Amino acid sequence: MKIQLYGVRGSLPDSDQPQKRIITTENLLNEFSKSPIPDAGEFLKSVPNLISGGLGTGTTSIYVKSNNTEDLLIDGGSGIRRLGDEMSSSGRFKAAPIHILMTHFHWDHLIGLPFFSPLYQSEAEIHFHCVQGFSEEALKTVFKKPFFPVPFKMLKSNIKFHTLNPRVVNEINGFNVIPYKLQHPDPCWGFKIEKNGKVYSHCVDNEGDKMSREALGEDLPIYQNVDLCYFDAQYSVSDFFDRPNWGHSTAQIGLEIGMREGIKQMLFAHHDPASTAEQILEMASELEVFYKNKLTQSEEKNLGLKPVKWEYAQEGTVFEL
Ligand SMILES: [Zn+2]
Ligand SMILES: [Zn+2]
């Protein structure tokens, strides 16, 4: 199973301002001129990915792929435009039905759908899946005038809507998909996706304030027996405490859950539109201190916390499970 990140921003598509990227580039060129590494390509490999490439602009769009036609898309954030264009140019749109899982219907998870090119192809069959059961109404709203000039009825593809059963296995295009409720207004459902014994857990958007096993209750399994977990880390720790009930979390919460439940790898995502790559790197160095302290505490007090591989998500990255 491959997981490819097409959009990792939260709330609104945004990127560092061009002027800011120029300053970053200038700083990189200065560092390169002083570096003992003679080759520019080799030098870039020595720089953190987030600094050389930025976080990316797109809002939530994740591609889960097992083979050429066994695949799932998660959410229709602005990142889905590029994925749709790739599916159109490769011919994937006519090879087999496309399945899109929707976590919820906040704008940042819908905004790319009018630009998802397979929707306009008569040979495409597209299935939308959600727990909430109102994906048809929500999708038609996106295409209503005066919000968008092309009405829903003009879409040429064959579109179908499905309601998922929560907390049980739903078999979709060769994957086992189990929806669990996240802590988010309106509400939002995360997905635990299993294929060939590997598990991807999608936990965005999520405030994560219910942390204990007791508080998580019937939704705890979304964090158990997981290879890769995509977790909401929109805020720094201080912003998290300033913004109660805004529906987003901080990486420290995810890491603590991951260490307790033995998640193998965590991706921190749904970056605030105002966050720059430099700010995310600062958050990562604070998180590294937190992580090492937790491991030390666990050893001293025999808490049983497990080591977790973690990083902050960057658009375009591919993970293989
Ligand atoms: Zn969101
Ligand atoms: Zn949301």
Taken in order of first residue, the domains within the chain and their CATH numbers are 2-16+54-320 (3.60.15.10)
Gap from CA of 17 to ligand 2 centroid (Å): 24
Residue from 169, 186, 187 nearest 178 by CA? 169
Note the pLDDT of residue 47. 86
Enter the tokens of residue 178.
């189990």
Cβ < 5 A residues, ion ligand 1? 10, 108, 205
Gap from CA of 162 to ligand 1 centroid (Å): 22
pTM for the full predicted model: 0.94
Gap from CA of 196 to ligand 2 centroid (Å): 30
Q: Provide the β-strand partners of residue 239.
A: none
Nearest-angstrom CA–CA distance, 115 and 85: 9
Gap from CA of 224 to ligand 2 centroid (Å): 23
Residue from 63, 65, 86 nearest 75 by CA? 63
Rounded to the nearest 5 percent, the helix, strand and coil shares of the chain are 35, 25, 40
Note the pLDDT of residue 50. 84
Q: What percent of the chain has pLDDT over 70?
A: 100
Q: What is the DSSP string of 43-60?
A: HHHTS-HHHHH-S-S-BS
> What are the φ and ψ backbone dihedral angles of 214, each rounded to 5 degrees?
-65, -45
Largest separation between any pair of C-alpha atoms in the chain? 64
Note the pLDDT of residue 18. 76
Enter the tokens of residue 132.
């909430």
Residues of the chain with pLDDT under 70: none
| Mean pLDDT of all residues belonging to the chain | 95
